[in-house]
Structures are given as structure tokens and as C-alpha cells.
Structure 1
Amino acid sequence: MTAAAAELTTPIPAADRAPARSRGGFSVGRTLKYAVLLAFLLVVLIPVYVLVVTSFKGPGDASPARAWNLPTTWTLDNWTAAWTALSPALWRTVQMVVPAAIISSFLGSMNGFVLSRWRFRGADLVFTLILFGMFIPYQAVMIPLLQLMLGMGVPSGVPSLILLHVIYGIPITTLIFRNYYQTIPNELIEASRVDGAGMLRTYASVVLPISVPSFVVVLIWQFTSAWNDFLFAVFFSSSQNGPVTLALNNLANGALLTNYGQSMAGALLASFPTLLVYVLLGKYFIGGLMSGSVKG
């Protein structure tokens, strides 16, 4: 037998043989996975399709029977009317959401740092009591909370909503920051103490500059929660000084759901800011969550 024939008849090791189904890039498991993901994507996008298509329909064209049909005549009247009705409330919502998210984030950061790195007697009990605020239903305390706010003389509308979202945002922001600060090496904190830095100096000069991932997480979280809130808006504001969720509800009720196109356009306008935040900062949101999920 020649050397060439021997080489042809030599069996190929099993480790070097690629499965036949993967040589051409085809895999049953991979195809099934993408098919399931595509099905879930279609389920999620179906309401979006109805929203977008209906927002461009005229009053006579927008009806439940024709929800799936494209507009007979494309019009921007619904968007113009929705913007006119919601634009003041959109600006008030921005005035409410931005300071509420920033203030609650910084308070949660300071709480998380103290509870994770500067231990004191009863620290675990204090942390447990703070977290307890996450599990109290808002509906259960709404009437006493309303009486408290009236007794304090806090003006309704944006000031009241800022205060409420800051207070109710402290538990979740404290939890996120505490978990993140526990991943910081102890040597970094000890080095700042050796250099003579106290608690505030260590926080401001050492810890705060490396807290960007967690700040991204809590800012997005608080921004979305405050923007989409409706319960606080009903109790602590009115149509003249309330956020966009209250204005959107009034827009739908005012139209008696007969002008579906205007209601759909208003819903898209109200949801666009939170969608934009997640599109621009979504990858940082996931990265920030993962940075504090495992203790390093």
C-alpha cells in the first residue's frame, strides 16, 4: 500500500470530525431558538404596530374593526392635537422627573456607602427597615400620606411629586448602591483612611468617581418609575399642574375613546422619552446591574 493510499484509509479522529449538521452553519437547536425569539418579538411588536398605524388614521378610519388595516388617508392631525394637549404636561414631567431621579440617586449612594463600608451598631437593622419601604403598597398609605403632605403645606403638583418620588426611591437606590459598594476592594478604602481621609472625603474623592455604573442604573430606574407613575399623580396633582400620565388619561377620557387616533398618538408621545432613554443607555443599564451582582 502506498503512502497516499494509507493516508486516505486512515480514520479521522472523532475530535477532528465536525458534526454534519453544523458544517453549513445549520443547527436544529439554534434554528428553534431564533424561531422562539422571533415569535416573542412579533407578540411584543403587535401592539406597537396598532398604536403607530392608528395614530395616523382619521376619526372615521380609526375603529376597532379596522385596527389592523393601514390608514386610508395618512394624517398628522392626531399628533398635532396630542402634542398641543400634552406638551405642557410633558414639560412639567421633565421638571419633576429629573430632580427626583438625581436627588434619590445621591441619597441612595450615600446610604449604600455608609451601610456597606462604615459599619455601626444596628446597621443591618437600619438597612432592613429601609428595604421594608419597598414592600409597602402605595395604596395602603395613600390617605395618611395625603394628610401628611397637606399638614406639611407642600404645594401640590411638581413639588409634592418630587418629594414623594425621592422618598419612595431611597429603598431601591440604597439596595443597588450597597450591593455595588460591597464589590469595591477593601484595600482601596483602607488606603484612603491611611492617607487621613474621613468618611465624607473617602466618599467624594474615592468612591463617587467609580460609581458611574450604579448611577446609570438607578437614574434610569428612577427616571422610568417617576415618568410612568399615575397613582401619585392622581392624589397629589391636578390636570393643571400634573404630569403627562394624568394629562394622557384626561385626553383619552375627554375623547370618550371615540378618537382612537389621537389617544394612540398621545400614548406614543408620552412613552417616547422613556423609550429613548433605554435605547441610548440600555447597554450601560445592563452593565451596571452586572457590575454589582457578583462580589469581586
Structure 2
Amino acid sequence: MANNNKWARILVYAVLIYAVIYYLLPLYVMITTSVKTTEEIRTGNLLSLPMHITLDAWRKAWGTACTGVQCTGLSLYFWNSVRMVFPAVIISTTMGAINGYILSKWKFYGSEIVFAMLMYGLYIPFQVLLLPMAQTEGYLGIAGTTPGLIFVHVVCGIASTTLFFRNYYVGIPDELINAARLDGAGFWRIFFRVVLPMSLPIVMVTFIWQFTQIWNDFLFGLVFSSGDSQPITVGLNNMANTSTSVKEYNVDMAGAIIAALPTIFVYVVAGKYFVRGLAAGAVKG
């Protein structure tokens, strides 16, 4: 029996190691290619280590690579995404927290219908929203701007953030809310003094979820931004599709890693809180 358990563990570890290698192989190729010279990429093997490490491709991707008619690299697009993603994440998370609090602890007549309608929004393809959202932004005078892009992501993120917070707050005992009411606490005092201090796990889940979704979005960035307001995903696409006499794969790989670094950083730093938040009830309902 012990011998069987030993071989079973070996098999499990072998499968896990294979999965890790298979999953990380594209990242390995991207990193090694980004620090090779163009000549080495042409003559070398895709999986070979760089003979001479150089960061020229990174510098070019950040500051001088052509992204269409301009050759200013990805730096402008990167900071556009930074200016867009943090307000969008904060606003959508805040609204989701308030909505979830109301729909779980301050129910009103028809609240279940409101919640069902919000959940219906999760299943609407984003492509269906493009025309009405463009018309709305035109009426508001924010079309093709960073505030307009923030508006789109907030509207499209409210359904998911509300679902996360509502399902989490359902697990908070009603006795806590009722006791606070008996002590004379009102809507906002209960929210800030009782509910919000217990919300760190779900706040981290929602923050990571929204940050990833918004930072990596390409569709809305392409449709609802223009010129100097385009995000990093659009800039990366422009750089990869810009025709040059020599295809610089090292620059493209460096640009792809630059675009992915913020989400990688968020998951590395806060990934454990994401798992804890899910386990604490973020997907229960």
C-alpha cells in the first residue's frame, strides 16, 4: 500500500511539474526573446538562452518604437491606462459595495427584481453595448476621452462588483445590523462602522478582478478612445502591426511584457488575498 502511495505522489508531482513548465514556457520565450538582439533571434533557436543580454529592445518599446505614425513607444499609452484604470476600479468597487450592502441588508420592495436585472447585465455581450454606449458618450460630451473610457468601464463593471459584494454581505449576520439599528446607527454609519471593516477580503477580490479586466481590455479601448487617450492594449496592437523593414520580435515581446507587468505585479502582491476572499464567500450566493 505504501509503495502504491509513493508512485501516486510521483505521478501527481510529475503532472504538476509538466503543467507548470507548459504554462510558463510562453513567458520564458517572451523574456528571453526580449533580451536578445535581432541578429541572434534570426540565427538562434526559439528556446535558447541569450548569448548576450541587452535591454535595447525594452528601451525602444518604451520610448521610441513606432505605434502607427508616431514613434514615441508605449510610455504614453501606459500612463493613459494608469490614469484610466485606478478611477474606474475605485468607482466601480465603491458602487458595487453600496449596491451589495443595500441589496443584502436594506432590501426594499422590488429589490430582487433590481438584483436580477443587474445580473442580467453580466450576460450581455459587450459588442451589443457599443452603439448605445457611443451615443450616450456623445450626449455627455466625453466621447474619445479618458473620462469617457472610465465611464464605460464603471457602467460595465457595476453588475459584477454588485454580485461580489451582495453575495459576501449575505453571510454577515443580520443580528449585527439590527443591533446597530437599535443603538441608533443609520444607513451610512452602519456601512462605514460595521460592514466596511469586515469587507477587506471581498474588496481585494473585487479590486483584483476589476483591475485585471480593465487593464487588459482591448475592445472598449479601441472603440471609445482616440489619439492621446488610448490605453496600453491599443498601443501594443499598434506597435505590433506597424510595418517596418525588419520585424523586431524582441521589441514586440518587450512591449507585451511591459503591458502585462501591472497585472502580474497585482497578482503576485495581492494574490493570496484574492484566494482568501473567494473562500470567504465572494462566489457564494
Q: Which amino acid aligns with 2:22?
A: V
Partner of residue 74, structure 1: 53
Q: Percent identical across equivalent pairs? A: 46
User: Using a 3 Å threshold, how does the CA distance of structure 1 residues 294 and 111 change in structure 2: closer, same or farther?
Assistant: closer
Partner of residue 21, structure 1: 3
- 1:64 Cα offset (Å): 9.5
Contact 2:221 2:231 (C-alpha < 8 Å) held by counterparts: yes
User: Using a 3 Å threshold, how does the CA distance of structure 1 residues 20 and 208 change in structure 2: closer, same or farther?
Assistant: closer
**Cα deviation 1:94-149 (Å, max 9, x = unaligned):** 11111110110010000001101111111111001011111111112212221221
User: Using a 3 Å threshold, how does the CA distance of structure 1 residues 77 and 195 change in structure 2: closer, same or farther?
Assistant: same
Q: Which amino acid aligns with 1:109?
A: A
**Cα deviation 1:157-181 (Å, max 9, x = unaligned):** 3111111111111011100101110
State how 1:38-117 maps to structure 2 within 5 Å.
38-63=17-42, 66-84=45-63, 85-117=73-105
Supply the distance in 2 between the matched residues of 1:269 and 1:61 (Cα, whole angstroms). Answer: 22
Contact 2:77 2:230 (C-alpha < 8 Å) held by counterparts: yes
Q: Which amino acid aligns with 1:110?
A: I
Partner of residue 235, structure 2: 247
Contact 2:143 2:225 (C-alpha < 8 Å) held by counterparts: no
Partner of residue 5, structure 1: none
**Cα deviation 1:275-295 (Å, max 9, x = unaligned):** 000000000000011111587
Supply the distance in 2 between the matched residues of 1:204 and 1:226 (Cα, whole angstroms). Answer: 27
User: Using a 3 Å threshold, how does the CA distance of structure 1 residues 47 and 63 change in structure 2: closer, same or farther?
Assistant: farther
TM value normalised by structure 1? 0.88
Contact 1:251 1:263 (C-alpha < 8 Å) held by counterparts: yes
- Other structure's SS at 2:266 match: helix
Q: Which amino acid aligns with 2:257?
A: L
- Other structure's SS at 2:39 match: coil
Supply the distance in 2 between the matched residues of 1:294 and 1:51 (Cα, whole angstroms). Answer: 34
Is 1:184–2:163 an aligned residue pair? no
- 1:63 Cα offset (Å): 4.2
User: Using a 3 Å threshold, how does the CA distance of structure 1 residues 152 and 106 change in structure 2: closer, same or farther?
Assistant: same
Name stretches of at least 5 consecutive residues in structure 2 with no aligned partner. Answer: 64-72
- Other structure's SS at 1:206 match: helix
Segment drifting more, 123-132 vs 27-36: 27-36
Partner of residue 226, structure 1: 214
State how 1:241-280 maps to structure 2 within 5 Å.
241-255=229-243, 258-280=247-269
- 1:74 Cα offset (Å): 2.4
Name stretches of at least 5 consecutive residues in structure 1 with no aligned partner. Answer: 1-18
Contact 1:183 1:294 (C-alpha < 8 Å) held by counterparts: no
Equivalent residue in structure 2 for 1:119, among 107, 117, 122: 107
Supply the distance in 2 between the matched residues of 1:44 and 1:162 (Cα, whole angstroms). Answer: 32
- 1:66 Cα offset (Å): 3.0
Contact 1:239 1:250 (C-alpha < 8 Å) held by counterparts: no
Contact 2:133 2:152 (C-alpha < 8 Å) held by counterparts: no
Partner of residue 205, structure 2: 217
Contact 1:239 1:247 (C-alpha < 8 Å) held by counterparts: no
RMSD (Å) for aligned C-alpha atoms: 2.0
